[in-house]
Amino acid sequence: MNKARKAAEVRLQGVAKRYGEVTAVKPVDLVVEAGSLVTLLGPSGCGKTTVLRMIAGLERASEGKIFIGGEDVTELSAGERNVSMVFQSYALFPHMSVRDNVAFGLVSGGMGRKEAHGRAEETLATVGLKGFGDRLPSEMSGGQQQRVAVARALVLQPDVLLFDEPLSNLDARLRRSMREEIRALQQSLGVTVVYVTHDQSEALAVSDRIVVMKAAEIAQTGSPRELYEAPDSVFVATFMGEANHVKGEIARLDGSDAIVHLDGMDLRLPARGLDVGPVDVVIRPEALRIVPAGTPGALAAKVRTATYMGAHAEYNLDTPAGRLFVISPDPQVLREPGAAIGLVTSGHGIFVVRP
Ligand SMILES: Nc1ncnc2c1ncn2[C@@H]1O[C@H](COP(=O)(O)OP(=O)(O)O)[C@@H](O)[C@H]1O
Ligand SMILES: [Mg+2]
pLDDT single digits (tens) 91-104? 899 999 999 999 99
- Nearest C-alpha neighbor of 221 from the set 85, 36, 75: 36
- Last residue of some domain: 188, 206, 234? 234
Residues counted in the chain? 355
**Within this chain, do residues 48 and 160 fall inside the same structural domain, yes or no?**
yes
Q: What is the pLDDT of residue 90?
A: 81
Ligand 1 pocket, residue 46 CB under 6 Å: yes
165 alpha carbon – ligand 2 mean position (Å): 7
- Measured between alpha carbons, how far is 86 from 161 in angstroms, rounded to an integer? 8
Q: What is the pLDDT of residue 1?
A: 41
Mean per-residue pLDDT, 69-84: 94
Q: Give ion ligand 2 contacts, CB < 5 A.
A: 49
**Within this chain, do residues 137 and 214 fall inside the same structural domain, yes or no?**
yes
**Within this chain, do residues 215 and 284 fall inside the same structural domain, yes or no?**
no
**Within this chain, do residues 211 and 294 fall inside the same structural domain, yes or no?**
no
Q: Which atom of ligand 1 is nearest to the CA of 40?
A: 22
- Last residue of some domain: 234, 261, 292? 234
78 alpha carbon – ligand 1 mean position (Å): 19
**Within this chain, do residues 189 and 270 fall inside the same structural domain, yes or no?**
no
Q: Establish if 165 belongs to a structural domain.
A: yes
For 143-191, the pLDDT digits (tens) are 899 899 999 999 999 999 999 998 888 888 888 888 998 999 899 989 9
- What lies within 8 Å, CB to CB, of 172 at 6+ separation is none
Instruction: Report the nearest-CA residue for atom 10 of ligand 1.
Output: 24
Confidence class for position 6, pLDDT limits 50, 70, 90: low
Mean per-residue pLDDT, 281-298: 94
Whether the per-residue pLDDT at 5 is higher than 60: the answer is no
Q: What is the pLDDT of residue 178?
A: 87
Q: What is the pTM of this model?
A: 0.89
- What lies within 8 Å, CB to CB, of 174 at 6+ separation is 142, 143, 167
- Residue 87 belongs to domain spanning: 10-234
What percent of the chain stands above pLDDT 90?
A: 86
Q: Establish if 3 belongs to a structural domain.
A: no
**Within this chain, do residues 47 and 148 fall inside the same structural domain, yes or no?**
yes
48 alpha carbon – ligand 2 mean position (Å): 6
Computed over every residue of the chain, the mean pLDDT equals 93
- Last residue of some domain: 199, 234, 269? 234
Ligand 1 pocket, residue 28 CB under 6 Å: no
Mean per-residue pLDDT, 261-290: 95
How far is CA 131 from each of CA 16, 34, 70, rounded to the nearest angstrom?
Answer: 44, 32, 39
Q: What is the CATH number of the domain that holds 271?
A: 2.40.50.140
Mean per-residue pLDDT, 340-353: 93
Q: Which atom of ligand 1 is nearest to the CA of 50?
A: 17
**Within this chain, do residues 224 and 259 fall inside the same structural domain, yes or no?**
no
Ligand 1 pocket, residue 47 CB under 6 Å: yes
- Measured between alpha carbons, how far is 190 from 37 in angstroms, rounded to an integer? 9
Instruction: Report the nearest-CA residue for atom 24 of ligand 1.
Output: 45
Q: Establish if 1 belongs to a structural domain.
A: no
Number of domains in the chain: 2
Instruction: Report the nearest-CA residue for atom 14 of ligand 1.
Output: 47
45 alpha carbon – ligand 2 mean position (Å): 7
Q: Which residue among 15, 25, 48, 50 has the greatest number of ligand 1 atoms within 8 angstroms of its CB, and so is best to mutate?
A: 50
Q: What is the pLDDT of residue 2?
A: 44
Whether the per-residue pLDDT at 3 is higher than 60: the answer is no
For 104-138, the pLDDT digits (tens) are 999 998 999 999 999 999 999 988 899 999 999 99
Instruction: Report the nearest-CA residue for atom 21 of ligand 1.
Output: 49
Whether the per-residue pLDDT at 349 is higher than 70: the answer is yes
58 alpha carbon – ligand 1 mean position (Å): 13
**Within this chain, do residues 293 and 217 fall inside the same structural domain, yes or no?**
no
**Within this chain, do residues 282 and 177 fall inside the same structural domain, yes or no?**
no
For 218-258, the pLDDT digits (tens) are 999 999 999 998 899 999 999 999 999 999 999 999 999 99
**Within this chain, do residues 254 and 122 fall inside the same structural domain, yes or no?**
no
